[in-house]
Amino acid sequence: MSVLMTALFWDLSTEKDAKPPTQPELRERKLLALIQKCRKTVVLFVDEAHDLQHSTLVQIKRIIELVRNNGGTLSVVLVGHPKLKNDLRRPSLEEIGARTNVFSLEGIRGHQAEYIKWLLNECIHDGHLPEDLITDEAIAFLAERLMTPLQIEHYLQRVFEDA
């Protein structure tokens, strides 16, 4: 948690050579003062949040509450694998999970054919059409079996190299 607080401190500090205090209580007070000074909502993005320990999630909740009690707003966006959603639903993290909104990003699922056509339009030279290079049946076949943009790009490249 100290790493997240230090990151917040450095992002919010307007001083050129500001260093966060090493004592946890003093660091919290300074961070709260910085958030109040901003007079804006502060958002912390945490990628790979599925790897966070449960104690860190509890401490994040505590910091959010401290900021709220001081009249500020701190929102935290946790980005991670579906494991994170499952962890937040466990009884040990029930208090945190009840305060979360879970969003699932499905990527291009259901729009693979449109993505393939767009990709072909972006990659071919002027004067050519995607239909000149690949049939609609082949696009439908690839769209049915491939899910991610990386898969689509990989197999399209292989198909055109083999052709």
Tokens describing residue 16: 């050129």
* pTM for the model: 0.64
**Planar angle of CA 7, 9, 15, nearest 5 degrees:** 125
Reported as a pLDDT band with limits 50, 70 and 90, residue 121 is confident
Alpha carbon distances (Å) from 160 to 7, 124, 133, 153 = 46, 12, 9, 11
Is the pLDDT at 69 greater than 90? The verdict is yes
Question: Would you state the pLDDT for residue 158?
Answer: 92
The kind and range of the H/E element at 46 are strand 42-46
